[in-house]
Structure 1
């Protein structure tokens, strides 16, 4: 079913704020699923809502164990009605880089692998899962990172598989979106809902 981002934004804004005064939306799914694109379009439909990428916390060496820093620097402050502030992880240099502010606003969008993990479920206004086949995700990843990244992608996908099997994120999502839709639609304004 084709749905408009504007209607999704209205749904989010009419939902309860569960992270202090903030409506927190998580756009989750495995690497290469299309999360960043979807989240950017949703953030725009929400009037330019702040968009936080979990890739700014994760690293090749630590794909999923960075949550404590995200909790301390973003979620805890927002939950207490204070701005968040985090230091971006620079993947190329392998170290923390510049600081970013996350204001206290009606809605903040978080996107990335494990952004809707079970530990944050009670603070989310909406968890969105992007469903895309494994072969397509790998193709997208290698198109972006180059064929020499195949080993990295295999290792990353294995870590994702373990996490999602234990967390069961997709089953808890309030919205599941087709990351490679065949149904005709205007991707700048709409998306294809699976459930």
Structure 2
């Protein structure tokens, strides 16, 4: 059943959850590339007044394992938070092709992880959101952002995403499904997935 819920209402529901990683409630916003995850996570992060860690902050080769970046998140962010300590990681600047400095991640009530494979089965997630949109719309968004020359890499990436999500069962475990074709101030979600 489709429901309309506001970002403040979703934020209140998240704040009411028990912590999942030490004292922190980890919220994952997952789904395929170009689906609207970053937009949705930005709005939810503002409603939660929490930090958002993006998978794009980590270097991931086009032809590498899709989920490899998450090891860095586990070691540098989630591990310390689970132990009650702040985390930190080096943010990767894709335009420069180099690391751009350290990002501090304090122990806080909520941390939002955004990106492909953030709601993986093994992650200490209190709440997971799956954002989806039609494949051709996602590809068009990605190419508008990254340039048409990257279409072969994007098509390969999308096949790798399909394989990852099928093996992990990510969508079927989501607490909330969101239509990312348009993510307005109020969004339509489907609960349960």
Partners of 2:93 and 2:147 lie apart in 1 by 18
* Deviation larger for 22-31 or 82-91: 82-91
Equivalent in the alignment of 2:5? 3
Q: 1:168 & 1:17 partners in 2: Cα distance?
A: 23
Aligned-pair RMSD on alpha carbons?
1.4
Select the residue among 173, 179, 184 that pairs with 1:187: 184
| Aligned twin of 2:172 | 171
Choose the corresponding residue for 2:103, options 93, 97, 100: 100
Unpaired segments ≥5 residues, structure 2: none
Question: What is residue 23 of structure 1 aligned with on the other side?
Answer: 25
Could you state the TM-score of these two structures normalised by the residue count of structure 1? 0.91
2:109 is the alignment partner of 1:113:
no
Question: Which aligned segments of 4 or more residues in structure 1 are displaced greater than 6 angstroms?
Answer: none
Partner of 2:46: 44
- 8 Å CA contact 1:28, 1:127 repeated in 2: yes
Kept in 1: contact 2:56–2:115 (CA 8 A): yes
Following superposition, the deviation at residue 166 of structure 1 comes to 0.3
Indicate conservation of the 8 Å contact 1:31/1:157, yes or no.
yes
TM-score scaled by length of structure 2: 0.92
Gaps of 5+ in 1: none
